[in-house]
Amino acid sequence: MPSPTGLRADGAKRSPTPAATDAPKSPPSPTLAPAFADDGELVAALRVGDSRARMILVERYEPLVERLVAGALGIDAEIADVIQDVFVAVLEGIRNLKDASALRSWIATLAVFTARGRIRRRRRWRWIRFVAPEDVPEVPVAAPQGETREAVRATYSILAGFPADERIAFSLRFISEMQLTEVASACSVSLATIKRRLARAERRFVEAAGAHPALNERLARGGRWGES
């Protein structure tokens, strides 16, 4: 720190400090456009194996995939594995995607079908466990937390008995809160078909929910199944 007297430690006077000159200002750096700003660029890069494009793909679409998979399976230890399976399927099938602008809806469909496959496989596993439980390890399931724990548990215990197509439709509509047209698109069926599935699933759910106090209370106050 300079001495307030202007002297050095040995008593000699300090040399005058040269006047500061204004340094030349560098021109402002241009704003960089986001990498692969649209899905057309992203798909083109994925098709040639661009590693950065893979990272952008996951960053851009993981929230969507997680929402759909978690809605279908519930709070579950296998969600991360299923999400990974979805992105493996995307990368394996990206060359077959005809319309790059349909990337989002195509990924949603893959997420739905991957989750449905896992549900159906689990049902086969349950039958195997019934026949020979010592030969098949139990699948660990993460317990829900917070005040909605019992409602979540009851919801998915009911959905476990649904046909896979009805469970997926119900989960996407009432848990993931997708629009009817989005649900139909993700399930690759017509709007009329998805409405019929939802009607059947909702009837099943309302009938079964009466036996669960946590869900019965929600139904009485008009709450949606997936709301906290």
pLDDT attached to residue 19: 53
pLDDT attached to residue 199: 95
DSSP 96: G
Residue spans of the domains in the chain: they are 37-142, 144-228
Amino acid at 198: L
Q: Domain 37-142: which topology?
A: Rna Polymerase Sigma Factor; Chain: A (1.10.1740)
DSSP 173: I
pLDDT attached to residue 216: 74
d(CA 86, CA 101): 19
Q: What class does CATH assign to 144-228? A: mainly alpha
Share the mean pLDDT of the chain. Answer: 76
Q: In 161-225, which ranges are continuous DSSP H helix?
A: 164-170, 180-186, 191-209, 213-221
pLDDT attached to residue 144: 44
pLDDT attached to residue 226: 42
pLDDT attached to residue 224: 52
- Residue 78 contacts residue 118 (beta carbons within 8 Å): yes
pLDDT attached to residue 175: 84
Spans of the chain, pLDDT less than 50: 1-12, 31-33, 125-147, 225-228
pLDDT attached to residue 119: 83
Model pTM greater than 0.75? no
